[in-house]
Amino acid sequence: MRHILLVLAAAAAVVVAGAEPVLRQVTDFPTAVSSGVSDADALFCDSWRLSVETANAGPWRTVPARCGASVRAYMEGERYASDSAVAAAESLAFAAQAFASGVGGAMPAWVFDVDETLLSNAPYYAVSGWGELQRNATEENLLFAGYHSWEKLILRQISDIGKTAVQYKSERRAAMEAEGFKILGNSGDQWSDLIGLPMATRSFKLPNPMYFIS
């Protein structure tokens, strides 16, 4: 059975054919980075990151001022790479089992976010809004990161402007299911990547304490 992997970003999606794993660790192995923050701030900021990742923080606009150095140290240090690698390992283990089990006559699929999931934008995370005009750059970045063999790259169109990520991605997943795909898994760094109908059989949240997308 042909395996189909679908990659969906806030503004982009990639359809990839083949059985090769495509979820990669988002950073190289970094060296330890000193945050230079007090123990009290470090403790608070660790708790704040947990609140963000579990969605307890709800919609949030900015990283707390006292956590700027801590978040930078996390993103540039070993913990972010480790957290991402563990999430990747868990999702790949589930994917191997799910794809092996089959989905009848449907085409098995996995949906991936691009930003901060397949590609890390940590050095320039303020840049956003991928769309049709960024098609070549998106393809080049994915190829440079080691991804290949996709069948289709789906990018936000003018008609998608103004839609929330939840609405846009839900519509794209619905369209995929209408085309005959069965979405077994979904991986993303934002809860808006994962919620909304239709949902995957199982979803995996990657860490991102840098920004929130509704």
**Which of 173, 169, 181 has its CA nearest to residue 213?**
169
**Is 213 part of any domain?**
no
Half-sphere exposure at residue 26, Cβ-oriented, CA atoms within 13 angstroms: 31
**Is 82 part of any domain?**
no
**Residue 132 and residue 198 share a domain:** yes
Region of 77 (left: φ > 0; alpha: ψ -120 to 50; beta: rest) is beta
CB 69 within 8 A of CB 44: no
**Residue 175 and residue 155 share a domain:** yes
What is the reported pLDDT for 104? 80
**Residue 104 and residue 72 share a domain:** no
**Residue 138 and residue 39 share a domain:** no
**Residue 118 and residue 143 share a domain:** yes
Q: Which two tokens stand for residue 83?
A: 């957290």
CB 140 within 8 A of CB 36: no
**Residue 152 and residue 127 share a domain:** yes
**Is 210 part of any domain?**
no
**Residue 102 and residue 53 share a domain:** no
Tally of structural domains, the chain = 2
**Residue 189 and residue 126 share a domain:** yes
**Is 25 part of any domain?**
yes
CB 34 within 8 A of CB 139: no
**Is 140 part of any domain?**
yes
**Residue 163 and residue 121 share a domain:** yes
Sequence-distant (≥ 6) Cβ neighbours of residue 74 within 8 angstroms = 35, 49, 80, 209
What is the reported pLDDT for 105? 79
Range of the structural domain that residue 107 is part of: 4-30+87-205
**Residue 26 and residue 130 share a domain:** yes
With H, G, I as helix, E, B as strand and everything else as coil, classify residue 13.
Answer: strand
Region of 50 (left: φ > 0; alpha: ψ -120 to 50; beta: rest) is alpha
**Residue 13 and residue 55 share a domain:** no
**Is 144 part of any domain?**
yes
**Is 40 part of any domain?**
yes
Question: Looking at 76, 109, 133, which one is the last position of a domain?
Answer: 76
Question: Looking at 45, 76, 107, which one is the last position of a domain?
Answer: 76
**Which of 172, 179, 180 has its CA nearest to residue 198?**
172
Question: Looking at 76, 111, 130, which one is the last position of a domain?
Answer: 76
Region of 76 (left: φ > 0; alpha: ψ -120 to 50; beta: rest) is alpha
What is the reported pLDDT for 29? 40
In tens digits, what is the pLDDT along the chain, a chain of 214 residues?
Answer: 333 444 444 444 444 444 344 444 444 444 444 556 688 999 999 999 999 999 999 999 999 999 999 999 999 899 999 999 999 999 999 998 988 887 787 888 888 876 667 666 554 333 334 566 677 777 788 788 787 776 667 778 888 889 998 999 999 899 989 998 888 999 899 999 999 999 999 999 999 999 899 8
**Residue 175 and residue 125 share a domain:** yes
**Is 212 part of any domain?**
no
CB 131 within 8 A of CB 159: no
Phi, psi of 175 (to 5 degrees): -65, -40
